[in-house]
Amino acid sequence: MYKLEKIEGGVCAANGFYADGISAGLKANNAKDMAFIYADTMCEIASTFTTNKMAAAPIKHFKSKGDFKTNFVLINSKNANAMTGDAGVDDIEEVLSHLPSKAVNPVMSSTGVIGVRLPKEKLINGLAQFDLTQQNPTSAAQAIMTTDSFKKEIAFQVTLRDGSSFNIGAMAKGAGMINPAMATMLCFITTDADVANATMQKILDRVVITTFNAASVDGDTSTNDTVMLLSNSKSGAYDEEAFEDALHQIMEFMAKQMVKDGEGATKLVTYKVTGAKDDREAEVVAKALSNSLLVKTALYGEDPNWGRIASTVGASGAEAKEETLTISFDDVCVYEKGKLYFDAEMEKVAAAVMKKDEFTISCDLGLGSGEFTAFGCDLGYEYVKINADYRT
């Protein structure tokens, strides 16, 4: 028994965390492009990073540190510091060396264009604007955005049965190059729960599978994907089930927010695959659906073209049969185990579902008990517009 209550405060909702965003001049028009998260005591840190073999310099820098505690995360947008080799890591060390001495074992996280050296002078000059006593989580959430059209933050107060409570809050960015196998998404979560570091990493690894790793905007896994979870234990309160539930709700919220904010996206679609031979095959099908260009353009056209769903299931590589497959749009079943009953009337009902901003496409493969749920979006003209000339 515990209670989850949504509260304000983002990454500053947990006791002892400070954050702000400023303009260091990387983005045009003095838009915010550099943020910090600072904790007034040292924090345990759990993390998960991209599986892209061209992992960016900030990820190499983080991993080179081995086991460590920290109280400071520096984040910039507009430049990914990826494909920059050893020089990229050196740039990070130089920038971090200019932080005030209160920042212990600081780490960095970057997002933006790949293959350009970090404009370190601008960043170093920008550091002077930081005030570590500020609690402006929304400014921080804005500063880490790239093609995002809205900022992404959330926080919960978790009250346990004995009346004790802890807070957990997060900010994230991500709108394109999103196919987290652990995605260009960044997510920073802070908590004052009294959680042991080893447990925290295990829970994070578990939760990421069904949240960020289940989300796709375009099937492209970025060089910079990062989730960091910082805890300072200040509340003295902890319950594993409550903590995992809160973390799951936060990460699922952020994953859905990213897909909803998918470049040019107008719809958030949940792909619920059941009846697969096993969970792994269900995942293969769910991700094939969320990444299929033909499915995504049909969604954009609000066309209940279930034939493309069936074809994608068949092409996914997973075991599947025409005779056992069932496809539904929300509660409208359009194809059931070999029965073709998609007529003009049903097309009207199915088309009405497709007009919604959010709906579920269910595929039951009718073969076993494997299941997986993925989150995807449509693909329209705006996606092309945003990505045809991203760098300029």
- Residue 263 annotated as binding? yes
Alpha helices in the chain (DSSP H): 57-64, 85-96, 120-127, 137-143, 197-210, 240-260, 279-291, 293-300, 306-315, 344-354, 381-388
152, 171 Cβ separation under 8 angstroms = yes
Q: Which of 63, 206, 280, 321 binds a copy of itself (CB under 8 A)?
A: 321
Give the span between the Cα atoms of 156 and 177, in whole angstroms: 28
Distances in Å between the Cα of 39 and the Cα atoms of 17, 61, 96, 178 are 5, 20, 16, 29
312, 288 Cβ separation under 8 angstroms = yes
Amino acid symbol at 292: S
Determine the length of the chain: 392
Q: Which of 120, 266, 278, 314 binds a copy of itself (CB under 8 A)?
A: 314
Catalytic one among 138, 184, 221, 226? 184
Read off the tokens for 205: 């690894």
6, 156 Cβ separation under 8 angstroms = yes
Q: Which of 335, 359, 372, 375 binds a copy of itself (CB under 8 A)?
A: 335
Residue 355 or 391 with smaller CB distance to a copy of itself:
391
Contact between 286 and a copy of itself (CB under 8 A)?
no
Q: Minimum distance from CB of 320 to a copy of itself (Å)? A: 5
Segment 362 to 391, residues that bind a copy of itself, using CB under 8 A: 379-381, 383-385, 387-391
Residue 67 or 86 with smaller CB distance to a copy of itself:
86
Q: Which of 241, 322, 331, 358 binds a copy of itself (CB under 8 A)?
A: 322
196, 236 Cβ separation under 8 angstroms = no
Give the span between the Cα atoms of 58 and 48, in whole angstroms: 13
Q: Minimum distance from CB of 321 to a copy of itself (Å)? A: 7
Contact between 114 and a copy of itself (CB under 8 A)?
yes
Q: Which stretch binds a copy of itself (CB under 8 A): 125-133, 228-236, 265-273, 316-324?
A: 316-324
147, 112 Cβ separation under 8 angstroms = no
In the annotation, is 184 catalytic? yes
Residue 68: how many CB atoms within 10 A of its CB?
A: 12
- Residue 138 annotated as binding? no
Q: Which of 136, 305, 326, 362 binds a copy of itself (CB under 8 A)?
A: 305
Q: Which residues are annotated as a binding site?
A: 146, 173, 184, 263, 387, 392
Footprint of a copy of itself on this chain (CB under 8 A)?
50-55, 80, 82-87, 113-117, 176-177, 179, 181, 218-223, 291-294, 297-298, 300-301, 303, 305-308, 310-315, 318-323, 325, 335, 338, 340, 342, 379-381, 383-385, 387-392
Binding residue positions for substrate: 146, 173, 184, 263, 387, 392
